[in-house]
Amino acid sequence: MDFETIKTTVLTFVETHKEWAPVVTAVIAFCESLAFLSILVPATFILLAIGALIGSSDLPFWPMVIGAGIGAGLGDWVSYEVGHYFKDDVKKVWPMKRYPEMTDKAEDFLRRWGAGAVAIGRFIGPARAVVPLVAGSFGVNRIPFQIANWLSAFVWAFLMLAPGAGLLTWFKH
């Protein structure tokens, strides 16, 4: 299946089965935030398209944001735990072993910003799925990680869905 087919299928399902839309949005955000899987799933474009679907249909905005926030937070949490479990061995697995400079940059980023790097990294495309994984292997404490993870997950979800949902226009009035 190509990207356009995946996007069309997901959007058609969301529009047809509105009661499942927050759950579907959560799964897509989870895929976007989970290390390794985020490379394979074109979730950013699908989430932006779901935002547009919210704006053009009667999908409720806040349940969608909550679904996306929960999915993103869980994806980062799982990535962190994988990194925490495997420690430095994470660097030996694809795609990390193929891009060691990316891992080094993530470690430098974490060294400089601590758990705040998780919140900042959420808004930087390729770093979104890598920083939590490296945070786990690098030894960032769980509580600061989770605080940064969950707060940034819901802000990110809002910012992904709001433009398409027309909230920027609403704020201008």
Largest distance between two CA atoms of the chain? 52
pTM, entire model: 0.89
Residue percentage of the chain with pLDDT more than 70: 93
> Which of 143, 136, 131, 33 shows the shortest CA–CA distance to 88?
136
Residue percentage of the chain with pLDDT more than 90: 47
Domain that holds residue 143: 3-171
Structural domain total, the chain: 1
pLDDT at residue 125, rounded to an integer? 76
Which of 16-20, 81-85, 107-111 has the least mean pLDDT? 107-111
CA distances to 9, 10, 25, 133, 159 from 17, in Å:
12, 10, 12, 33, 24
- 104/155: higher pLDDT: 155
Residue 166's pLDDT band, with cuts at 50, 70 and 90, is: confident
pLDDT at residue 25, rounded to an integer? 96
pLDDT at residue 165, rounded to an integer? 82
Examine the pLDDT at 169 and tell me if it is beyond 60: no
pLDDT at residue 96, rounded to an integer? 76
Sign of torsion over alpha carbons 153, 154, 157, 162: negative
Check if the beta carbon of residue 79 is closer than 8 Å to that of residue 129: yes
- SS3 of residue 95 by DSSP: coil
pLDDT at residue 105, rounded to an integer? 81
